[in-house]
């Protein structure tokens, strides 16, 4: 199984539109034979410094060959992750995550992030956003791709549905 991962910054003021476009794409590819599942995720706890509301897309295919067939099968589906100008692939812009004045390398403060209930132990000052330096070159100016990668799944897990020893499960 291969997992495709892409991380995006939505254009300022277009965050809802970006979520909607990525979610619609995911919905439209669900019926493609090679598609094995996927997610659209929104960052919410401030781990990307001044890049607020980053969006990630992950989707799975069985193999490189299945990935090529998936791209061919979805060629006519509007893809907001695709580059706006045909030609050479624009460089990923993730360097902005490491140039931020306020990242999340807090060490001992990490425990303050465990609740992730919105407020997470400290404030993020409004120091201006690196978003203004990004090139929003995907989805009609909707997204800036920060990074992407292709992964093979080495291990996976899910919660156990088996009852714990000693617990009764029936009448």
Q: pLDDT tens per residue, the chain (171 residues)?
A: 999 999 999 999 999 999 999 999 999 999 999 999 999 999 988 888 888 899 999 999 999 999 999 999 999 999 999 999 989 988 999 998 887 555 444 433 333 344 444 444 434 444 455 666 899 999 999 999 999 999 998 998 989 876 666 655 555
pLDDT at 100: 54
CA 83, CA 60: separation in Å to the nearest integer?
Answer: 20
pLDDT at 170: 52
Q: What is the DSSP letter of 117?
A: B
Give the global pTM: 0.76
What is the helix (H) or strand (E) element at residue 96, kind and residue range? helix 95-99
CA dist list (Å): 18 to 11, 13, 126, 138: 8, 10, 22, 10
Give the pair of three-digit tokens for residue 41: 């995720």
CA 155, CA 25: separation in Å to the nearest integer?
Answer: 27
Domains in the chain: ranges and CATH = 2-101+129-152 (3.30.70.100)
Radius of gyration in angstroms for the set of CA atoms belonging to the chain, rounded to a whole number: 19
pLDDT at 124: 40
Give the pair of three-digit tokens for residue 82: 């695709």
Q: DSSP of 104-146, one letter per residue?
A: S--GGGGGGGSS-BSB-SS-------GGGGS---BTTTTEEEE
């Amino acid at each position: 199984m291969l997992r495709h991962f892409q991380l995006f910054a939505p254009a300022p003021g277009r965050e809802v539109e970006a979520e909607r476009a990525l979610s619609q794409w995911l919905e439209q590819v669900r019926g493609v034979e090679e598609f094995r599942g996927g997610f659209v995720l929104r960052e919410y706890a401030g781990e990307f410094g001044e890049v607020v509301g980053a969006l990630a897309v992950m989707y799975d295919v069985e193999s490189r060959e299945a990935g090529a067939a998936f791209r061919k099968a979805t060629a006519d589906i509007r893809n907001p992750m695709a580059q706006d100008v045909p030609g050479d692939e624009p460089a990923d812009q993730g360097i902005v995550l490491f140039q931020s004045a306020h990242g999340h390398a807090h060490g001992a403060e990490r425990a303050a992030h465990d609740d992730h209930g919105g407020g997470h132990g400290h404030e993020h000052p409004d120091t201006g956003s690196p978003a203004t330096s990004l090139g929003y070159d995907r989805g009609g100016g909707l997204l800036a791709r920060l990074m992407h990668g292709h992964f093979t799944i080495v291990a996976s897990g899910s919660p156990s549905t088996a009852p714990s020893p000693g617990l009764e499960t029936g009448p």
